[in-house]
Structure 1
């Protein structure tokens, strides 16, 4: 089966109504699907956190680094994607695409480990204010955990090559292309070298990319904070978001029209291939 077909299979399972309150059955189904997929590659850890009286779950898979002759205590690369969706939509781009790529990265790096140990996390409650990632980032900081890099996969499958399809906050339209046919890589200053490296590897997979570093935890451009990397910025970690730029490109954002049919699966496949190459190159 091709990577494109595997990604589509994941999308067909995950793209369903899955708001944790209003569509709790769909939410639980997707949670179980991710757990079952992860469990093929190792034991799945559940990080539980409370939102009011509600118990919520981040699902975690740890994958070892390449075996070495001598012990090397390398820091983790953490890769995350949120699996909850807003009410009234199957939320295919937001964020079934991120989950699908996360599951395929798990498959690839379980078969052939990366240089660094990897921790893959499916975050809950992103749509309610990044609650799952905020709780987990605070826990890592409290434990003194080192991170080589945190990568948030946030909407990866929408492409529009028509002129004027890409919007930007503030003055950024003066520096970036008007066509929404690239993947965006947005990081804090500590990730500059990684952004450049990842961008080069994206091009090897046939995907155009644009990168942006943002100082001061992204507070000057609040749109850069709208995913699960932002709590890691707040805790001082090197972190980046990989995104098709959401509502600045995709007219289906948070609408019933955010369906699998609206996605560009070739673009999504290239993003997945480029990410794998890029992570291996770190």
Structure 2
């Protein structure tokens, strides 16, 4: 609950960062278009399209000089990857913000969840511009395998990530 209050306080305090908020609707729309155009469908059947999504996400973090790492895990002999970016003081309390880049079935997924990834990328850009003022470490994670047949299983990217933090006793 403490983390929810912290995030709410952060959002409320965003007007103090307003001089660095030059976000444009076109930027968000561009992210969504690029993500949905990573191939026919970004589901667990299409490793190629998931890799294209990863390349786009990593390239956008890199444009803003944000380093990423892959959290790789295997499901049925296939490797899948969460993409993790970290912004802010490394030794401070961590706030995790995530969105998933896969889709359910055969859909483009603009609103489920390319828009979430677009928001994640824009949040990352804004946080990076204000990094010297941050009191928390923000871990931005693009998750995979959040949809059926892996939804609500230990193979979900968010589960894998949360478990890794728990195993390391991170808060």
- TM-score of the superposed pair, with normalisation by structure 1: 0.47
Rg comparison, structure with higher value: 1
* SS class of match (1:104): helix
**Equivalent residue number for residue 39 of structure 1:** 62
Matched, 1:64 2:88: yes
Matched, 1:7 2:28: yes
CA shift, 1:43, in A, is 1.9
RMSD (Å) for aligned C-alpha atoms = 1.8
> Which runs of no fewer than 5 residues in structure 2 stay unpaired?
1-21
* SS class of match (2:59): helix
CA shift, 1:58, in A, is 0.4
Structure 1 stretches (4+) deviating beyond 3 angstroms? none
Structure 2 vs 1, CA of residues 6 and 143 (structure 1 numbering), >3 Å: closer, same or farther? Answer: same
Greater mean deviation of Cα atoms: 93-102 or 131-140: 131-140
Question: What does the per-residue CA deviation read over 1:101-135, in whole Å, with 9 as the maximum and x for residues that have no partner?
Answer: 00001100001123211110000111122511111
> Which runs of no fewer than 5 residues in structure 1 stay unpaired?
66-71, 147-282
- TM-score of the superposed pair, with normalisation by structure 2: 0.75
Matched, 1:28 2:51: yes
CA shift, 1:26, in A, is 2.2
Matched, 1:135 2:153: no
* SS class of match (2:112): helix
**Equivalent residue number for residue 16 of structure 2:** none
* SS class of match (1:93): helix
